[in-house]
Every structure is written in C-alpha cells, then in structure tokens.
Amino acid sequence: MPSLAADLPSVLNGLRIVRTSRSTDKVSIGRRFQKLAAARPDAPFIKFLGTEISYGEANRRANRFAAVLKARGVTRGDTVGICMGNRTEVLLAILGAVKVGASVGLLNHHQRGEVLDHSQNILKSKLVLVGAECVEAVQSVPRENWIGELLAVSSEVDLPFRDFTARHRPDELADLTWLEDELATLGDDVGDVNPPEADETVGTETAYYIFTSGTTGLPKASTMSHYRWNRAMAGFGLSGVRLKKHDVLLSPLPMYHNNALTVALGCVLAAGACLAIEEHFSASRFWDQARAAGATAAIYIGEICRYLLNQEPGPGDRDHSIRVMTGNGLRPEIWDEFQQRFGVGRICEFYAASECNIAFVDAFNVPRTTGYCPMDFAIVDYDPETGEPRRGEDGRLRKVGKGEIGLLISGISDSQPFDGYTDAEATEKKIVRDAFSDGDAWFVSGDLMLDQGLKHASFVDRLGDTFRWKGENVATTEVEAAISARPEVDQAVVYGVAVPDADGKAGMAAIRLHDKSDFDGAALAEHLRDSLPSYAVPLFIRLSKELEHTSTYKSRKTELRAQAFDTSTFDDPLYVLSKEKGYVPFYDGAENDVVAGTV
C-alpha cells in the first residue's frame, strides 16, 4: 500500500486520460516518441544483444527510415507491412512508418504459404519491409502474389537464435532493393527534422494492424487506432505498471504480439524508460538476459511464468533487479510461488485482446486478479453450446452477479469505439445490439470472466472455435484444414483441452480415418509441423470411428472437451506428440510430460 500511495497521482492521471481523451485528439505514437526524444535525447531507448541506442539517435534513424518510405511513395493513410524478427530495426521501422502517417501491418513471421499470403493480402500494403532472416517465410509466398513493393532489411548484428550473420544478404532476396542501400544515399542531415505528419495525426487514424485468429480459421487483422494506443499507454503505463524514467523493461515477446507493441512499448513511452528486446523467449536464459540488460521490469504471458518455475532452482533466481512484471495469463495457483521464488515485488496482471475496446489492469495491487476496468463493460449470461449471449424472455441480456462467471461484453460508443477488423462482416459478427436498451451496441469478447465486484474481474476461459496456447490464439478450423489435407484423414475436429499446471488450452484433435487407412503418427506430425505454427500443432490425437454433430451440422465439441485425454471415458486409441518420433501411443502421465517438455 505505501508504494501505491506514492504512485497514486500516476494511477489517477492514467485513469483520467482513459476516461476523458477523445478520438479526435491529436495523439499518435510518433508524436509521443518525438516529444520524449526532444526532452531526453541522451536517455537509452532500445537495448538489443549488447547494443544500445538513445531516444535522440532512435528518433533520427526513424526519421531516415521515414524519408526512404516517403521517397518510395508511402503517404499518410497507406499501410507498410513488416515481416521481421525481433531486433532494433523492427522498432525503428514501426516508428518511421507511423511518423509519416502510415499504418503498420505486423505480419507473423512464423506463418507460411497460404496463411501468410492471406495475411499480406488483407493488408494491401504499399510497401513491405522483409527481414533477411525471414527469407523462408517470404519465399513461401510466390513473389507475384505479394501486394506492394518488397524492401529487404539486413541485420546490423548477428542473430544467434536464427544462426544468422550480421549484414548477410540471402541469394533468394538478391532481386530486392535493400533498405540500408537506400539509407546510404541520404544526406547526413536527413533525419534531423521530424516529418510533419506525426503532429498532424489524429486519434481516429490507424496506427497498426495486429493479426488475430478467428473462427474462420484464417487470421483476421484487428485495427489499433492511435487513440486506443494512447489510452492503453495511459491505462497500462501510467495506472498499472508505473515505470520510472530510469527503468529498463525486458520484452522477449515478438513485436507482432500486442503484449510487446501495445503494452511493453506503451509502458516504456509513458515514462520515457528503456525497452530491452530479445530475439525470443528462453526459460533457461531469461534471468541471464535480465541481468545483462539491467532490467528492472519485464513483460510475460502466463506460459512464461510457468516455464520459469519449471526450471531447476538456482542462485540466479533472485540475482536480478526486476521489481515489477506485467502480462496476462498468470494462473492464480502459481502467483504466490512465482513471486516468492523470484523475489518480484509486484505483479501487474491485465486482461486485453487485440480487437477488444476495453482492458482490465491490476492498478491497485490486488493479488490473483486481472484487475480493474474504468470503462463500460458487462459480464452476462451465455449459452455454453453456442458461446453467444443468452437473451431472456424480455429479449434483453442478463448480467451475472458478483462471484458468478459470464461472458464479457464491452460497450461501444463515441468515447469507447470498437475499431474492429479490416473485414466489415467479421466486425459486425462481434457486435450484439439492443442488449439492455434499444439502440445500444456491445462488443462480444468471447471470453469468460468471473465478476469480482467493484469493477474487478478475473479471466476464466475462452469460448468458441479459438483457444489460447503459449500466448497465441489457435483457430481450430485452420488446424482442422491442415489435418484434413492428409489423404488418410476423412474428418478432423480440433479443440482445446485443459492440461494440469498449464496456462491456456492444449490442442487436441479427434480424427476419423478413411476406411482401410492406417495411422502414421510420424508422418502426420511432420506434415503439421510443416503446415502450422509450432503453437498450433495438436499435442493429442484421438482416433474416432464416428464424430458427432449438432442439429446444424457443426461438430459437437462439448463432450470431446470434457473427456479430453481421460481414457477411462472412451475406448478410442489416443496418441501424444513427441519431439523425435511424432505421435506416439498415450501413456499414464503423458500430459505432465507434455507440459514439462520431456516427452
């Protein structure tokens, strides 16, 4: 409580901005960054693999990036796609793009082929910056399919996780123009003056697109306006995490993840602090990375905390300077153990989603909660079979009481707009109208929350065809399509199942084979690993003779989810994914080995 009392002005200021800011205000990521660069030019802004650049230098280099973009035809309102791994250049590219009034489209560099092609087609970018280290992803889409000019970007430093050498230019990208060549043609004074567009940008304009898996099975691009980003910066940064200007926040999450781009960057820019990024998350090296960066704060997803707890205790567990960690998905049952083992003074848990127009943040230091939301929301009764809000005899929705679980919905208004997706039809499907009164509109989150009272709530589960694993949303129809591509498969139903001591739901598939077909666990695993991101590959396969459907010919998943891998409830053969041999017969304790990563 003493720390909260000291930070109370920051908490209240953040809540004030969240409640009173308007979408027509001149607020933008570029404008916020430029102010900090002018005020604290020598303060560190980015740390990456032993390198460090200041706010002033980052602003100058971002301006030079912006000059190249403008020279190649990018104007205010255009989209600049980015397909790059975590490194300094990706942040500079994001800043450079928003500074000229463009929107940034963050492509998931783990995607391949049809899925990546679908994503880049949604963006319709004027130009796409592709990292040299992402050559495999880029080449998985036919060159003639790419929309917008491809501009290659090499790395200034070695990228050890990818075994990539600094300044290497893959032969496969030899036909492309390279960003550093374009930068070299600019005069030395280019970058000293900020582009005027950053000061002119208003909150309603799109800052960037984050891809989120939906019930269609292919990614949807959710829109993040500068207005929403500014409110997130206030809510997460000022009210929740409350960094100081000397702090260093460690982020091992990919920049295409909202936790990195909205929360981590927002918290840093709220305080004028420093962001230390890593190529990827490593449970065994996390605390070493924290020490090397001088980190005083860090961001997580729930899986990260559990992975850290699963490491053997060692002398480095408390040999660090991290005093606060923020993220979403930390399970209540490991909250206290995590804090005590690693000596983290404060956990700032939150709830947010790429497309959701509200957020919960633990601003008041309440343990084991997703926190407080000052915005308009309701937790309502729902139909477990359809996942839709349930209407009463009067045609209206019913709010659940304190201590009850319901479906989270959030009000849509001028002060709380729903930016939606690039697909208008997909946007409308997420809205429920006339919920409590004629003419009202509410965003349907698809998430179950426990109403804790006093505008606090805790996350319970995800509904519908999407479940969350390893911090990523997995669309079951995408996985079903990949499994069904195998010639021996007649039908596949994919769903998420709870695994002991794991955050989120592990992927499980019930498969019906064609008559006289044999199951090849190694071949199926190889196919799925080639076709899907690693987090989307099912961990369990159940071979079923028949798969039930509802009256509307939808796969009946409720019973399958409930049975999960409990072999006492069914006689079907069951398999578990192993690292070396693909899918192998399930055995007692296999679910625990999956969580521990030892199968």
DSSP SS3 for 29? helix
Backbone angles phi, psi at 386, to 5 degrees: -95, -20
Q: What is the pLDDT of residue 441?
A: 97
The mean per-residue pLDDT over the stretch 163-168 comes to 94
The mean per-residue pLDDT over the stretch 542-568 comes to 72
Q: What is the pLDDT of residue 396?
A: 97
Task: Tell which wins on pLDDT, 249 or 553.
Answer: 249
- Strands of the sheet with 149-153, listed across from one edge: 177-178, 149-153, 127-131, 79-83, 103-106, 206-213, 219-225
Residues 6+ apart with CB under 8 A from 318: 341, 342, 343
What is the share, in percent, of the chain residues with pLDDT greater than 90?
A: 64
Q: What is the pLDDT of residue 596?
A: 73
Sorting pLDDT into bands at 50, 70 and 90, what band is 552?
very low
Task: Tell which wins on pLDDT, 33 or 423.
Answer: 33
Q: What is the pLDDT of residue 550?
A: 40
- Angle, helix 476-484 to helix 521-531, in steps of 10 degrees: 130
Q: What is the pLDDT of residue 503?
A: 76
Q: Which of 9-18, 305-314, 530-539 has the highest mean pLDDT?
A: 530-539
Report, in angstroms and rounded to the nearest whole number, the Rg of the chain calculated over CA atoms. Answer: 24
The mean per-residue pLDDT over the stretch 303-332 comes to 88
Sorting pLDDT into bands at 50, 70 and 90, what band is 324?
very high
**Residue pLDDT, tens place only, 51-84:** 999 999 999 999 999 999 999 999 999 999 999 9
Q: What is the pLDDT of residue 110?
A: 87
**385 has pLDDT over 70:** no
**Which residue is it, tokens 């309502």?**
380
Q: What is the pLDDT of residue 166?
A: 95
**193 has pLDDT over 90:** yes
Sorting pLDDT into bands at 50, 70 and 90, what band is 464?
low
Distance from chain centroid for Cα 408? 19
Sorting pLDDT into bands at 50, 70 and 90, what band is 211?
confident
Q: What is the pLDDT of residue 556?
A: 63
Q: What is the pLDDT of residue 332?
A: 77
The mean per-residue pLDDT over the stretch 273-288 comes to 94
**216 has pLDDT over 50:** no
The rounded distance, in Å, linking the Cα atoms of 96 and 449 is: 38
**300 has pLDDT over 50:** yes
What is the share, in percent, of the chain residues with pLDDT greater than 70?
A: 95
Sorting pLDDT into bands at 50, 70 and 90, what band is 551?
very low
Task: Tell which wins on pLDDT, 261 or 485.
Answer: 261
**589 has pLDDT over 60:** yes
Beta-carbon count within 10 A of 328 CB: 25
The mean per-residue pLDDT over the stretch 411-427 comes to 88
Q: What is the mean pLDDT of the chain?
A: 90
The mean per-residue pLDDT over the stretch 353-378 comes to 88
Backbone angles phi, psi at 54, to 5 degrees: -85, 170
The rounded distance, in Å, linking the Cα atoms of 222 and 466 is: 15
The rounded distance, in Å, linking the Cα atoms of 503 and 507 is: 12
Six token digits for residue 584: 């192998």
Weakest mean pLDDT among 83-87, 402-406, 471-475: 471-475
Q: What is the pLDDT of residue 191?
A: 94
Distance from chain centroid for Cα 13? 26
Secondary structure in 3-state letters for 8-19: HHHHHHHHHHHH
| pTM summary value | 0.78
Q: Are 115 and 88 in contact (CB under 8 A)?
A: no
Backbone angles phi, psi at 164, to 5 degrees: -115, 130
Q: What is the pLDDT of residue 215?
A: 38
Weakest mean pLDDT among 38-42, 288-292, 389-393, 469-473: 469-473
Can you list the domains of the chain with their CATH numbers? 28-37+50-201 (3.40.50.12780), 374-462 (2.30.38.10), 469-596 (3.30.300.30)
**244 has pLDDT over 70:** yes
